[in-house]
Structures are given as C-alpha cells and as structure tokens.
Chains A and B, each alone.
Chain A
C-alpha cells in the first residue's frame, strides 16, 4: 500500500515549487517529485568547470511576480539589481538603457525612447494584471470568466480611445516596424529587437514580437537582477518555503508516467517503479511531455491530442558559460559596467539576419548575445580574481540540420566567441573552460521538450485564452485530476512564478466550488 497525497507535483521547477507551497499552505498534502538531483528545474546554479559556477539556464531575474514574493514571503537577496542594459558598439560608443532613459543617442531618439517606453509600460502594466489571473474561458457563462473578460475589455477601453487603438494595432505587430518608425540609432533598434526575441523562435520581423517585448516588460518593467548565489538561490528559497509549508520534495525521482484509471489521473509511477497515489496530478513539465509522454495521447480526445502534438515548442536559444581567468577588456566600459547586462545586437537587421539561418535549421554565424558576468558581484561563483561569463546566445535551432554533433557545437561556440571578440579582443586568451548548452542539451538536462524556455512558443496563437492550446487554458487539462503549472500554461516562461501561483489558486478554487 502506498501513501495517498492530495496532490503530486511532477517537477520541482520554480513554478512547481510555488504551486506546491501554496497548496500546502492551504492544508494540502503535497509531494513534489524532481527528476534531477537539484530542485529548481531550469533555475539552478551549478558548477560547470572546476571552481566555477553559473546559473545553468535562466540567468537573470526580471519577472518574479510581487504576488508570489508576498504569498511566500520571499526576500531574495540580489547581487545586482535594476541592471542597466549596455548595447555594445564596436568603437566603444555604447548605449545605456535603463527605465525610460537611453544614453548615447540623439536627443530626438531619447525623446522617442521615453515615449516608446511610456506606452510600453502602460501596455505591459495592463498585461501584467492578466498574467496573474487564470485567463478567462471564451464562450462560457461562468460568472468569473465573464467578469475577467469584461474587466479586460474595460481595462483596454480605459487606456483611452487612441491608446486602445494603439494597443490593438501593436499587439500583433512586429518590433522591426515599430523601431523603424521611431528611432534612428541602429544600436538602439538592435537592443530593443533583442529584448523582443530573446528566448523565442522569432526574428524582429516576425509577427507579435511587440507582444513578446511587452511580456518581458510585464515582469518588473524590464528591470533585471541577479540573485546572490545565482538563480539556484531563488529555487532553494522557494523549496525552503515549500518545505516549511509541509511539502515533501524528493529529488532524483524521475516520473515515468502518470497513472490513469477509469478516465482520471490517480497517481504517478517513477522510473524506479515506485508508485504514488493522489487525488490530483499537477505537472510542471512542458505540455508535450506531460500529455504525450507522461499521460499518453490515448487518454485524451483526438482534437486535444492533435493540438498538443502540433504545439510549437522548439527552442532557439543556447546558453554559453565561460570560465575566465580575468575580465575581458571591452573598450569604453568602466569597471562597474561589468555588473550590468551587456548585449550584442548592433542593429535590427543584424538580429533578423541572425535569425534567417535558424528558419532552415542552421545556427547563426553571427549570433545575438546577452551577457552577464555574475561573478563580478558574487565571489561565490568563481575562484578569487577569476570570473564566469553567462550568455544567452541566439540562434541555435533545436532541430539543427545534421543534429547537434560535437563539431556543430564547436562551430557555433566559435561563432559566438568570434562575435564577442569584436568587442572584447582578449576574450579567447581569458577562457580556461567553457560549456555550451544548445536547446538539445537543455532538453536533456532540464527535460524540456524542444529545449524552449517558454515550454511552448510565446505567440498570440499560443497565448492567454489559448495557452497552451484552446480548451485547456485554465491549468486543468481535459483529463480529470490532471493540471499543468509550468511555463507551457498561462502566462508563459521566465522565472515569474505566475503559472505556478495561478494553477494553485485555480485548483483550490475548484475544490471550493465542488
């Protein structure tokens, strides 16, 4: 006879931890099963070279929702906060972006940037409100859904007639057109483009890249920080909060399948053959893994299984970690600038060109890069005097033609180093060890199908009411007792905790209603 839990959460990603903690606080008996040795999913800190540690996947914190912090009384200590974004220029004429201000461009561009940011902030504030609620179902008579839908309509209308029109115009548009309407500075256009496409399989000319920009801003107005001890600290803090609330967390316990009996999820079986019974199975895994592998398509109806099967979830962002024997010299940067967020995206066409090969299954010869030196403010990450560089690099398509062989990885890594070298000529000499995580590696290490950091592409057809797919937007899947609580559910990826919190609230509300 096995123990029976109220809920089992599959995966101790940050959303799974948030969800489990909130359920336990409400008095539920919760078990979290994590495949890896460490909790945190893609938000962990781990050693990648002797003495060098890094946030292995997600590396900047810009979206953790205040609601989550408040509910779980988190007080994450940050090593860097409210980071400036420095857009590198080959001749050292870098741009600095922070809040509504940008330095290093013409007065006209500065004014335009202020207006752009003001509008984007207004829109992303609107969006943020709905990231922290389960999306309303369409075509229902449920009062709560209708009220949320009505509120959304009202909130849009309250933007004012012109702004509402702008919102509706921009939300489906591409960032390329918008930055070209507004700005002259190629570097500024490049930096904004990068923020719009980071973590997606989209280029600046792809539709709805303004929406992805807004999504990023919706976290904390785009302010990013680095937790002391790396992203793993956030996960450890969440795990601590969960355990304090009574959650049992077991690591190195990969779940093999969700047990379905008589048309409902009744428990899980681990790879080692252990079986756990429960009333509710909550999956922090991505929708495809959850539905097609852990549960199995045959337990769903054709239409739903087909939609999940066709979910677009192929990652295009790689992670490069470098162990450095010292900070590389970048012309035009002062010492303290190394604590900031540094991006390489010289102009918006550069970003689009970087994306082009990815459409055809090749990696970018001249990639787009987001860099941080977390060891600059955090001595725990590297030996004294040494440093680590953590970079998100695009584009590295999951389904690379010919596969991610060692040679393919070496070629892409060389392209990244070559690109950084244009700004930091001594980077190669500084490298003592390196690690490249392609989406294929991310899939393997973090068990995310396609290695996509949003679990499913963040596009309007997979967003809000239809995330991950139509008829399954409210965390509850069309199989009794099965819920999703990860990035594949509304609102999406990033270390925000919103999906986990919304899922927990939905489950508790449903119980109350029943």
Chain B
C-alpha cells in the first residue's frame, strides 16, 4: 500500500498569498474545498469597484473539465441543450445541462479552446455525470480544476488595465470570445466572459504563474482603481445582471429529493438555450413534452417598490394575499447602481409574464421588532443592469 499524505482542512487557491495581504476583515468561507473570501475590506466598496473601476475576483475553485477526443462535439451536443456546433474555436458558450427528465443539473460556460477541444466550467462538480455521458463516445474527460488558476477582471476600466499589461489585440475580442497570450513563457488565456453583466474578462493560467500574473495585473491597474473583491460584492452584481446561481434560482436535480423541486431550462427562462432541432440531447423528450403541455414554473425578475429588500419573500397575486402564494423570491438585493429594489424569483405559470404586477410580502426588523408589508412588484423582461459598454468592441478606454 502506498501511503500518501492527505490534505486536511481548506485548500488555498494559487492567489491566496495575494488575497491574504489585502484582507482586513478575515471573513472567509468554503467553496468546493477552497477558502474564498466573503469580502476583503468592505463589500459595498468592493461592489463599486465592479461598477466603477476594475474588480478582481479569484475564481480558481470553479470546476473545470477538459473534453477532448474525436467525438467531443457530438458528446457535448448530447450533454447540453444548445447547439454546440455553432460555437467555433475561440468562442465560449453559456449552456445548461439536464437529466433525462429535462431537469437542470447545472449551468456553466463551455470554452471551445481549439478545434475539438473544450473546457466545461461550472460551479458544481459533475465528473460522475460527465463520465456516464461518455459511454459510447470517443472522448476523454479530465478534471482540471486544480491545474488552472482563474481570475475574473471585471468593470469599466478592465480593458484599460489589461491593455496596460501589454496584451495587444485584446480590443478585438468580442463578448464570449477567447484568445491566448504569452505571459512570462506560459500560456495566458483570456475570455471576455464574467458574472457581473458588465465589461469584463476572465484570465486563466497555470498555478505556478498565478502570483506573477496577479502582481502584473495590480501594477497595471494602479491608476485604474483596481481592487480585489469577495463573493458578497459579486453576488450583488450577479443579481443585477439577472444571472442564475445554483442553490438559489434552481437546485441541481441530482441534489433534489422532492419531486417538483427541481427546474427545467424552460422554467428558468432559458428556452433560448434549448435547441429542439437537435435530434437527441439529454432531456429532449421531456422538454418537448413540457413545451407542449406548458411549464409549471417561471423565473421572474422583479422590480419592487420601496427600499426594503425582499429576502425570502412569498409572492402573491394581490395585495391582500387572499389566495395561496404563487411563488417566492430566490435572490433579492438593493441595487446601488440601478437605485432599484430588485429580486429574482420563481412563480407558478401562467403567472409572472413580463409586465405583470405581483405582490411581494416583505418582513423587516427594526430594533428587534418585526414588521411586514406588501410591496407591489413589476415583472421585467430585461436584466436590471445591461450597459452598452458590456458588448462594445473594441471597449472604450475608461
């Protein structure tokens, strides 16, 4: 028997030494085995770095799988609901994958690194499902979470910061594009992707070069307000952008015990990702049936009156809440940049069409005493935060 030391306790990401130096509040939590900061000094200020300057978020713990082999495209096309044939090398696709019943396992981004070579990037781990899906395909699946360090560099000045680093040609990179640079003899991959709904990039590099990359980045960003951020600030920006988070907007179906507590892509507003023209993909039959019969749930973006955050609120049809609740809020924040009280929620179809008015039951506490009030909310169609600079190519120099 070979004895190997087993690491106990939380792992440190390749950027840990740099994060530690910037940390003033010592608020960390566990993310897939790694320590990750809630915030480093002040969530609000960190948030404003995302919206007004450049925020740097360490996303190394994101789950990454490398898919290669002759059948990789066919494999991915059976795995996810959208048509991956349209995603050319050098492009990134947001995608969602389901079980046979058309219930969402997870969403994530799929990077078409080079011809026939892909990387799946998601919050949750899926090796078992990916391997089961590989039965009958000529593909190799490699779990490479620990082999690649990742940084999200997001915000209006992010392009200027990266240009300062001497990354020529980055200006041509369109949203959901990826490109490769040389960084001190190693390959630095940059994708124009993110979780903030703003102009931003994600940087991917081997762990050994992580600290050097961080240092070069912060040096280049000195005059552009670069700041490291924690999860809380990112979460705020995520809701403004209207993005989904597993365990918030949906429960991964493989973690769900109760029937009806999982969600289909159609119930999450992701119908645009479901391509029924593909003859076979996981969940196709069930989703076609759901489309015919109608879905049970609908994801809603809510613009809520007042300034009390609608955390965990029930959603009703009318102010009196005289009938049973039609749904509930899944994520709620006060949006500083939109000056709006916003939320994402799940309501029973046919409720929740864009433009509908619903009522949100908000509980709030003032000096120990609880109060409740019903706030009117409007279902909106577009993300709350969607600035033109997000998709401008080349991006402006802020």
Contact = CB atoms under 8 A, between A and B. Distances in A.
Interface of A: 260, 262-263, 292, 296-306, 309, 471, 478
B23 interface: no
A262 B285 contact: no
B136 A297 contact: yes
A262 B99 CA distance: 21
Given A305-B135, A471-B100, A478-B285, A298 B280 contact: yes
Contacts of A302: 78-79, 99-100, 129, 132-133, 135, 282
Interface string B74-103: 110011000000000000000000011100
A298 B285 contact: no
B78 A298 contact: yes
B279 A301 contact: no
Nearest to A304: B100
10 contacts: A262-B279, A297-B135, A301-B99, A301-B281, A301-B285, A302-B129, A302-B133, A309-B132, A471-B100, A478-B100
A24 B135 CA distance: 36
Contacts of A292: 135-136
A300 to B, nearest CB: 7
Contact of B282 (A263, A297, A301, A471): A301
Contacts of A262: 279
Contacts of B137: 297-298
Quick one: which of A298, A300, A471, A478 has the most chain B CB within 10 A? A298
Contacts of B132: 302-303, 305-306, 309
Nearest to B101: A303
Given A301-B284, A304-B100, A471-B100, A296 B279 contact: no
A299 B285 CA distance: 12
B265 interface: no
Q: How big is the B interface, by class? A: 20 to 34
B100 A298 contact: no
B283 interface: yes
B137 to A, nearest CB: 6
Contacts of B71: 298
B9 to A, nearest CB: 34
B69 to A, nearest CB: 13
B160 to A, nearest CB: 44
A265 B137 CA distance: 19
Interface string B250-291: 000000000000000000000000000001111111000000
Nearest to B259: A139
A301 B129 contact: no
Contacts of B279: 260, 262-263
Quick one: which of A292, A297, A478 has the most chain B CB within 10 A? A297
Contact of A303 (B99, B136, B280, B284): B99
Nearest to B276: A263
Contact of B280 (A301, A306, A309, A471): A301
Contact of B283 (A299, A301, A309, A471): A301
Contact of A300 (B101, B129, B280, B283): B280
Contacts of B284: 263, 301
Nearest to A299: B280
Nearest to B285: A478
B67 to A, nearest CB: 14
Sort A-B residue pairs by CB-CB distance and give the 10 closest, nearest first: A297-B136, A263-B279, A303-B100, A301-B100, A302-B133, A306-B132, A301-B282, A297-B135, A262-B279, A309-B135
Quick one: which of B74, B132, B283, B285 has the most chain A CB within 10 A? B132
Quick one: which of B100, B129, B282 has the most chain A CB within 10 A? B100
Nearest to A291: B136
A264 to B, nearest CB: 8
A433 B148 CA distance: 66
A306 B135 contact: yes
Nearest to B97: A302
B84 to A, nearest CB: 14
A425 B133 CA distance: 56
Given A298-B78, A301-B100, A263 B280 contact: yes
B126 to A, nearest CB: 11
A302 B79 CA distance: 8
B258 to A, nearest CB: 14
B72 to A, nearest CB: 12
